[in-house]
Amino acid sequence: MKNPRTLLRVSVIGTVLVALCCFTPILVILLGALGLAALTGYLDYVLLPALAFFTGLTLYAIWRKKQYDACCDNGSTKSRNPPMSDDKNRHIAVIGSGGAAMAAALKAAERGARITLIERDTFGGTCVNTGCVPSKIMIRAAHIAHLRTESSFDAGLSAQAPVVDRAKLLEQQQGQVEALRHAKYETILADNPAITVLRGEAHFVDARTLSVRTDDGREKVVTFDQAFIGTGASPAIPPVPGLAETPYWTSTTALASDTLPPRLAVIGASAVAVELAQAFARLGSQVTLLARSRLLSKEDLAVGDAIEVAFRREGIEVLKQTQVSRVDYLDNEFLLDTNAGTWQADQLLVATGRTPNTDLLNLVSLGVETVHGAIMVDAHLQTSVPGLYAAGDCTNQPQFVYVAAAGGSRAAINMTGGEATLDLGAMPAVIFTDPQVATVGLTKAEALKQGFSVATRVLDLENVPRALVNFDTAGFIKMVAERDSGRLLGVQAVAGEAGELIQTAVMALRARMTVQAIGDELFPYLTMGEGLKLCAQTFTQDIKQLSCCAG
């Protein structure tokens, strides 16, 4: 029996019944009534071994139940993550309240620890306050504005550019941000009796002590058994002469602005830069994007090229291989000196990456290993100092909130007596441009670098029925597979709503599926996800010769 509770019930019932037969005349009377009194002489040879058997079985079932209860949580087997042995005596300090820190605090509290959570600023960290949530709200508003101005159905649906009231859009945006922060952070922290919140700036005194300068100016000492660092990151500012003396925007200030600049220059070409560049352009700004190399240089070359084509089609000026040597601000105008000439703009957005928030933690004195401020963690999310853990944007992990949260929860398991690792081998990533960019696994270049012999296929969206009926065939789906086995190694997609199809590729990659197996699966017709099936089929056949919904 897999469930020891059932085994325990059966063994106890058996023990009781046999004991009744041994120590009362019930069985003797019953045998006599049935005319089998001659068998009573053999009862001792049967009942005593049976009693010993059921007694032993009961003891075994009790032991099994204790093991089961120690290794299970809400009925799910988690044998590698037993609750910590010292229960509520363990004290964990958590620095931060963003995705990583909240996940760590809640998981550690769930597993019996006492938590002191220290936050110097707004609860919720970057994602809900100044990153993912407000940016996606703005991008959605910009998408609606774009569709009202231009769509694939303009021949039958009249288009008219909307009047954009950025102040009202900002009010709607911030209302949602505040609602999410209150529901998902402030209320949860306030309602959890295992978590004590301390407002202030923390730094390490030693590997078991923090000093916190509280909001009222006092110093409070916090001792702990383990500590978790989830302090996130802030916009990185390049050392361009003159830039610091100008009123430039970062992504944080851009998302909080209630105005739309007539001319916007964007320095940067990674995810944040391209997302906000397109959003401002669609809301009415004339945007010039200055890329030091090319758009999305960390992605497959075809990905950046596809987004560049989309941007130029929308009137966004893209300057590649462009370095800014100086920035000035004169008469309410930005002047950017570059190797491609001088450029003017009414506002400048600097989106050149993010820097970990670790400089005030006093990590160097503890011997915590960092690289350019990023805390180096091992597979268990532990730093180079035993007992100190970290996850999220302040570490060397990819800067995605879902990676941060997953890292935080796994660190908490490890801090409370369990064992968990963070496997990023099938980590999805989405860039919310239009078309969207969604990726998972290895690019062809990465696979070759790792020694794989690879085969690749690229499926233009002209071959995807959903894209055809949308009259929107800009983009592609690309698959990278191991040549001999056909095992899927990676997927890169540029398509409308590509972010909604990539999780299917994640699951296929995690299951080590071959492209042949993916091509044999059933996918709903007229979905973008069907493009994965069609791309997989191109490894073995010419899909142009198939009917539109051929299996």
Contact 101, 228 (CB under 8 A): yes
Contact 308, 295 (CB under 8 A): yes
Structure token pair of residue 527: 């979905």
496 marked ligand binding residue: no
- The answer to whether 362 touches 204, Cβ cutoff 8 Å, is yes
Is 242 known as a binding-site position? no
Nearest-angstrom CA–CA distance, 544 and 542: 5
**405 labeled binding residue:** no
CA 90, 95, 97, 103 torsion-angle sign: negative
Task: Describe the crossing of helices 26-33 and 4-23 by its angle, rounded to 10 degrees.
Answer: 70
User: Does the N-terminal peptide bond of residue 49 adopt cis geometry, omega within 30 degrees of 0?
Assistant: no
Q: Which residues pair with 289 in a beta bridge?
A: 266, 318
Per-residue b or e along 278-312, where b marks 16 or more CB atoms closer than 10 Å to that residue's CB: bbbbbbbbbbbbbbbebbbeebbebbbebbbebbe
Look at residue 315 and give its three-state secondary structure.
Answer: coil
**270 known ligand binder:** yes
CB 241 within 8 A of CB 322: no
Cβ contact 185:102 at 8 Å: yes
Neighbours of 257 (CB within 10 A): 16
**Phi, psi dihedrals of residue 57, rounded to the nearest 5°:** -65, -40
Q: Is 393 annotated as a binding residue?
A: yes
Spatial distance between the Cα atoms of 372 and 394, rounded to a whole number of angstroms: 10
> What's the one-letter identity of residue 309?
V
114 SS3 class: strand
What φ, ψ does residue 58 adopt, rounded to 5°? -65, -45
User: To which residue do tokens 């605090």 refer?
Assistant: 105
- The reply to whether 254 sits in an annotated binding site is no
Question: Who contacts 74 (Cβ-Cβ below 8 Å, separation ≥6)?
Answer: none
206 three-state secondary structure: strand
Nearest alpha-carbon partner for 507 in 497, 518, 495 = 518
Q: Is 268 annotated for ligand binding?
A: yes
- Torsion sign over Cα 139, 142, 144, 149: negative
Is the separation of the CB atoms in 131 and 211 below 8 Å? Answer: no
Binding residues for FAD: 136, 393
Binding residues: 136, 268-275, 353, 393
Binding residues for NAD(+): 268-275, 353
